[in-house]
Structures are given as C-alpha cells and as structure tokens.
Amino acid sequence: MLQMCLGTVYAWSFFQTMLARQYGWNNTETVLSFCLAIFFLGISAGWAGQMLPKWGPRVLALTGSVLFCAGYVIASLALQLDNVTLFYLGYGVIGGAGIGMGYVTPVVTVAKWFPDMRGLATGIVVMGFGVGALLLSKVLAPFLVVRADSDLATVFLWLGIVFACILIPCSLMLRNPEEEPAAKARGPARAAKPPAETESARPYLFTGRFAVMWLVFFFNIAAGISVISFQSELLQEVWGLSDPSLEPAVLAEYGATLIAVSSVCNGVGRILWAWLSDRFGRVTIFRVLLASQMIVFGVLMSETNPWVFSVLVCYVLLCFGGGFATMPSFILEVFGAQKMSRIYGTILTAWSAAGISGPLFVGYLKDVYPDRAVMYCFLIGILMLGAGYIFSFLLDDERMRLGRPTLAQTLERYGLVKTT
C-alpha cells in the first residue's frame, strides 16, 4: 500500500492537460512540476539509502509519508493562489522528496527479509509503485474531480488527506528482520566490532562498474519516463487524428484508461522481469529491455492507429518497470548486502537525472514543434536506448559470478576506466 500510494506520481499526465487549460500554463511549465518531483525523488532516495542503516526503515518511511502528503496540501494552496512557484515547491520539491524516502525504504527492507528470493521479492514490492497510477487515474482522481466539480485545488487537498490516512499507519509497520540467533550468541566480544553495514560505500561509487550500471539504468528510465509524462496527451492526439469528431471529454477518458492499463503493465513488468532476471541474469535482461524498446520506439514514431499505439506504450511501461525490479538484485550481487542500501539509494539519482531531462525535453518539443513533437520524442528515445544497450556490454553476469574480468575491468588495465 505504501508503494502504491507513492506510485501515483506516475499518473501525472492525468492532470497535465487539466492544469494547462485551467491555469494557462504551457506544456513546459506544467510538466516541470513532475520533473521536480522525480528529481527530488532520486536525490532524497540517495540520501535515505545512506541514512537507512542508522535511522531504520520506520523513521524514514514515516518522514517520507508526511512530506509526500504535505506536498499535496501545499500544491492545493498554490492552486488556490494560482502560484506556479509554490506548486513547484509543494508537489515537486517537498512531495518528491517524500516519495524518495518512502520508495527506497521498503525495497531494501524486503530484500533483507527474503534473501533467497530477492529478485522476486523486490519485484513484488516495486510492483506496487508501478500500479499506483491505476489507483489515481481510474479511482481516486475521477471520483474527486466529479465531487469537487473539477476544482483541482480541492482535489489535491483531498488526495493529501486520503494518502495520509493510508501511508502513516503503513509506515509504522516497517521494521528490519531480527538478528539470527547464532549471531546473537556471539556475545559482547563480537558486538564491539562495528557492523559491516556501516562500512563506507563511497569507494565503490567512484568505480567504472558503478558508473556503467548508473548509465544503463539512466537511459532505460529516461526513455520510459518521457512517455509516462505525456502518454495521455499523446494518445489523445493520435485519437484526434483517427477520429476528429471525438469530444475532449471522451479523449480525456481514453487517456485516463491508457494511464491505468499501462500502470498495470508497469507493475506486472516489475515481477515478470525480476523473475526472468533470476533465471537468465541481470545484464541479459537489461539488454533485452533496451533492444526491444528501440524497435518499439521506431514503430511509435509513425504509428497512427490508436489501438496499436496504446499496446506499444504499454510494452514500454512493461520494460520501464523491469529496470526498477532488476537493479536492486543486480546491486546485491555485485556489491553485497552490506552496502546495498547506500549504493541502491545512490544509483536512484539516475532516476532524478532522467526525470528532469526526459519530460522537460518532450514538453519543450511540444511547445516549439507541436506537429513533429511525437516523432522527435521517439527518435531521441531510440538514441538513448541505443546508448544504454552499448554500455550494457561493459558488464557481464557470468564473469561477475565467477570472479573473472569483465570488459570494464579489462579496460582498466589500459587506463581507460577505473573499476576498483
């Protein structure tokens, strides 16, 4: 439930058109709120990953929940005052920071509870984040929009209240698994030794291997999040070309349905790809994700059938979720459980960078080149996915498991990259 509520941020495109019409904001101004939320999500997740061993999951999850709900309340006030800067602060900065703290905490905690099924376990947890857009786009938001007579300030206020009633109790239930009895029996002599989890992870953050993992993660996210931020609006444009007689209300309903269905694909992808990565390896799955999306983006560049367009967008979201499900287990295998929270939190800064660069660029294209924005958007996506696919060949699952040199480590011998 905690992840599902936080994942409602992916339903942003439900509000994108409504905010632009009611308050006169252009696409770039409006989507900047979403960009800031994702940016501060990644930054706060990185910080939370560093603090998790010290503070514990309950404190961080509770803090994140309070910030997330406060962000909605401040955003509501901003809409009442018609103050876009205050809206950025509330929804983007404060709300985004809350999402980051709340997101990383259960993922790391569940990985400790189920060490023998870490791929599937973390996949199930992050699935909740993926399907959060379904909760907002087809249940909460439509109901509140009707009840509030399309007053978005009231809608955002009630969303903050509803989420607070769910998130705060859920946060109080989080805790780490108890120490093994054998470990407890070691006595004070062993207790004096500092825990391995307090060991600094900083040296590992400046290695070529981490950098390559960060880049592969970034390119997969950037391509997917560019589609997420405008999927409803893009589909409405395709439907408008297919049937110009459709009313705006009908187009909006089609867009909301795509958000809901694609969010399910996002969630299912987090379990499916996590399970497949347990069987075939993390790097292999990342290569499949990136390569297959390049083909899909190529088709989307010129696709005018709204049904085919919708199916392909859902596949992109399936792959988008797969990256988030595969990375936690990948980090566990490469860097070990002791450093997972710190390194996983830091690698989520790729989410921040992608959240700023992808949607903002699409918003700019829609403002400057409205007739060609779709084609340019997917063309840039192909280039990003291609770059990620190339970088993935610097990593190798089997060689990591056997302790043999990867390509990145081979390049170190010639002074081209630093891996250790």
Q: Got the DSSP string for 47-108?
A: HHHHHHHHH-HHHHHHHHHHHHHHHHHHHHHHHHHT-HHHHIIIIIIIHHHHHHHHHHHHHH
Grade residue 318 by pLDDT with cuts at 50, 70 and 90.
Answer: very high
pLDDT of residue 160: 96
CA dihedral sign of residues 53, 397, 390, 7? negative
State the pLDDT at residue 245: 77
What pLDDT, on a 0 to 100 scale, did the predictor assign at position 75? 96
Look at residue 397 and tell me whether its pLDDT is greater than 70: no
Q: Is 150 left (phi over 0), alpha (psi -120 to 50) or beta?
A: left
pLDDT reported for residue 255? 82
Of 137-151, 201-215, 393-407, the range with the highest mean pLDDT is 137-151
Confidence tier at 189 by pLDDT (50, 70, 90): very low
Output b/e per residue, 240-257; b: 16+ Cβ within 10 A. eeeeeeeeeeebbebbbe
Q: Which domains does the chain have, with CATH numbers?
A: 2-176+200-413 (1.20.1250.20)
pLDDT of 73: 97
Closest CA to 317 of 286, 291, 293, 295: 293
- By the 10 Å C-beta count (0-12 exposed, 13-18 middle, 19+ buried), 177 is classed as exposed
Mean pLDDT of the chain: 83
The tens digit of pLDDT for each residue in 197-247 reads: 445 566 767 788 889 999 999 999 999 888 887 777 778 778 776 677 777
The residue type found at 131 is: V
